Amino acid sequence: MKTATQRSIRTGLGVITLALLGACANMAKTPPGTPVSQVVAQFGQPTIACPLPNGGQRMIWSMQPLGQYAWGTNVDAGGRTDQIVPVLTDQHFKVLSQGTWAPQQVLCEFGPPAEKDGVGLPSEIQIVWSYRYRQDGVWNSLMYVYFGQDGSHVTRHHPGPDPMYEERPLWF
């Protein structure tokens, strides 16, 4: 049986999430070519900005570590945005299957992860970044991105349930 406090917390988190989603859903409707200064004025500073070879920048606005959404765009050298798109989606995570991805590239493509951890036996620890997201737009999930033992590049990735959303007995 849920306590009044648990219900209040869940309701409050739900209201905050809906408000943020409403604000950020408009972010994806920003027309390509919008000056980045206008995007920053409306949505705030990006979580991360990475330089691009053409003199522009890759920018990510992220709700990690507790949120499930992030948006990214490329900005040209003149300060104009490309299309702003959600990046924490099953479709977008598929880019990790193409080519070799170093940690800095993953950071610039998806933003900072919700968690960084190591898994495996002590002699074979692999570095894993976990991104909180909505799998298939529905399920509270984490996308686990493995960088292998040396941490130099992505070796695999897969989704799994997000334990943050599991209901636990009060005594835990």
CA–CA distance, 125 with 156 (Å, rounded to integer): 14
Q: Total structural domains in the chain? A: 1
> Does some domain include residue 171?
no
- Structure confidence by residue, pLDDT tens digits, 46-60: 999 999 999 999 999
pLDDT more than 70, % of the chain: 83
| 172 domain-assigned | no
Distance of CA 88 to the CA centre of its chain: 5
Q: Are 33 and 80 in contact (CB under 8 A)?
A: yes
Helices H / strands E in the chain, number of each: 4, 8
In a domain, 99, yes or no: yes
Q: Given a cut of 60, is residue 105 above it in pLDDT?
A: yes
Is the residue at 94 inside a domain? yes
Q: Which two tokens stand for residue 144?
A: 């686990």
Look at residue 154 and give its three-state secondary structure. coil
- Across 15-32, average pLDDT: 64
Looking at per-residue pLDDT, the higher value among 14 and 129 belongs to 129
Give domain status of residue 159, yes or no: yes
> Does the CA dihedral 109-111-115-121 come out positive or negative?
positive
pLDDT per position as a tens digit, 110-147: 999 999 999 999 889 999 999 999 999 999 999 999 99
Q: Which of 104, 105, 73 is nearest to 86 (CA)?
A: 73
- What is residue 172's three-state secondary structure? coil
CB 64 within 8 A of CB 131: yes
Could you tell me if 7 and 15 are in contact, meaning their C-beta atoms sit under 8 angstroms apart? no
Q: Which stretch of 3-17, 21-35, 73-87, 138-152 has the lowest confidence by average pLDDT? A: 3-17
Inform me whether the pLDDT recorded for 6 exceeds 50: no
CA 16 to each of CA 28, 67, 137: distance values in angstroms, whole numbers, following the listed order: 19, 10, 18
Residues of the domain holding 81: 4-165
Full-model pTM: 0.82
Q: CB-based contacts of 59: which residues, under 8 Å, 6+ apart?
A: 36, 46, 48, 49, 50, 72, 73, 74, 75
Is pLDDT above 50 for 24? yes
Q: Is the pLDDT of residue 18 over 70?
A: no
Let me know if residue 170 belongs to a domain. Answer: no
